[in-house]
Amino acid sequence: SYYREYMFNQLLAAKGYAVLDLDYRGSAGQGRDWRTAIYRHMGGKDLDDQVDGARWLVKNLGVDSTRIGMYGGSYGGFITLMAMFTRPGVFTAGAALRPVTDWAHYNHPYTARILNEPQDDSVAYKQSSPIYFAAGLTGRLLICHGMVDDNVHFQDTARLIQRLIELKKENWEVAMYPVEPHGFRRNDSWTDEYRRILKLFEETIGHGKMG
């Protein structure tokens, strides 16, 4: 169920944000070619669609190109990281929730259908994993992750945190939720997460942006 996301999108819209929620390539329900377009490269054509969406907002709605943000959970968290790391200047801020940072450590049957076996196609895994592109971070990044996540394990975020520290990046923050699995169960956790995302956007792309 995504009712909380719909609610949060409505909150953003009510505060004056233009909200675009699109079915990028790799999504279900659009046919085989659409679904398989990410074969061997997650964070490729699917991310192109996100970038095209941002450009559409600028061209058709007059959105300020320096005030575009992005957020998402699970695969959406992964694609947010890829956007922040590999498309500098397109997205000013991003919130990656429970994100996959290295596909080699994720659910093997799911990943192997898209990227093949890790030992057979290391190129596909490397070009699809955000942790290898963390040096490209220029915008503001928020990472949120439950520490008892049994789908995308918290170690994915822990490894990325260490990488950002090694790179001496300062424009990021992380919120850890000690009792939460992949889909948060506690209302106070959901509230805290959305409060942090809203604060990030207000400070970077909203009416109260700093600087």
Domain ranges in the chain?
A: 3-204
pLDDT attached to residue 199: 98
CB atoms within 10 A of CB 94: 30
CB 139 within 8 A of CB 87: no
Homologous superfamily, domain 3-204? Alpha/Beta hydrolase fold, catalytic domain (3.40.50.1820)
**Positions of the chain with pLDDT lower than 70, given as ranges:** 1-2, 26, 28-31, 34, 208-211
d(CA 64, CA 192): 28
In one letter, which amino acid is 146? G
Catalytic entry in 74, 121, 189, 192: 74
pLDDT attached to residue 1: 54
pLDDT attached to residue 211: 46
Catalytic entry in 129, 149, 153, 156: 149
CB 197 within 8 A of CB 142: yes
d(CA 67, CA 46): 21
Q: Please say if 182 is a catalytic residue.
A: yes
CA 169 to chain centre: 18
pLDDT attached to residue 136: 98
Closest CA to 38 of 120, 108, 103, 107: 103
Q: Please say if 1 is a catalytic residue.
A: no
Tokens encoding 179: 């009792």
Closest CA to 74 of 196, 203, 183: 183
Catalytic entry in 48, 49, 182, 189: 182
43 Ramachandran zone, left/alpha/beta (phi>0; psi -120 to 50)? left
Sequence-distant (6+) residues with CB within 8 A of 163 are: 131, 134
pLDDT attached to residue 37: 80
Q: Please say if 64 is a catalytic residue.
A: no
